[in-house]
Amino acid sequence: MQNKGFSLIEVLLSVFIITVAVLGLYNGVSYSFNSIEKAKNKLIATYLAEEGIELVKNIRDINFSSEEEDAKWNDGFSNCESGCGIDMNGTIKDDPNLPLNIDTNGFYSYEAGEPTIFSREITIKKEGEYKVKVSSRVSYGKQDFLIEQYLYNYKE
């Protein structure tokens, strides 16, 4: 007599093999999504840190173009000697640990919007009469990203 069906062991073995294959695919896809999220957050942190440096450059350039006779190139920098927060609207916060908010247009600020995982600390250290060191640190979760740059009084 010939059996034309599968035995119970064959069925269980094939179900086990298919389950292992599906779980392997699931773990691979899950790891990919997690990696994409980490890369996205690091990219945003990089841009926010660079924006912090650019905001300080903007303050310096506004000081250069000021028509006030006693205006100095580094006016306003002393607010950030021990760390501060600056956003694109010119808002300076004494507490650099405040989270940046994102508005409906995708801009980050301390004003209206949805809170994010990102906070930005700007530190400005005087390195001489004509030189300052600007540090922009963006923290998110347990990670942070730091950019440092020197700014000079190039007019004198």
**Interval 97-107 mean pLDDT:** 90
55 Cβ contact list (under 8 Å, min separation 6): 86, 87, 88, 90, 122
Quote the pTM value. Answer: 0.78
The DSSP bridge pattern shows strands 92-93 and 101-102 to be unpaired
Distance, in Å, from the CA atom of 25 to the CA atom of 153, rounded to the nearest integer, reads 57
Domain boundaries, the chain: 8-152
pLDDT tens-digit map of 104-151 = 998 999 888 899 999 999 999 988 888 999 999 999 989 999 999 999
pLDDT tens-digit map of 34-77 = 889 999 999 999 999 999 999 999 888 888 887 777 778 888 78
Comparing C-alpha atoms, which of 73, 78, 74, 105 is closest to residue 89? Answer: 105
- Pick 32 or 138 by higher pLDDT: 138
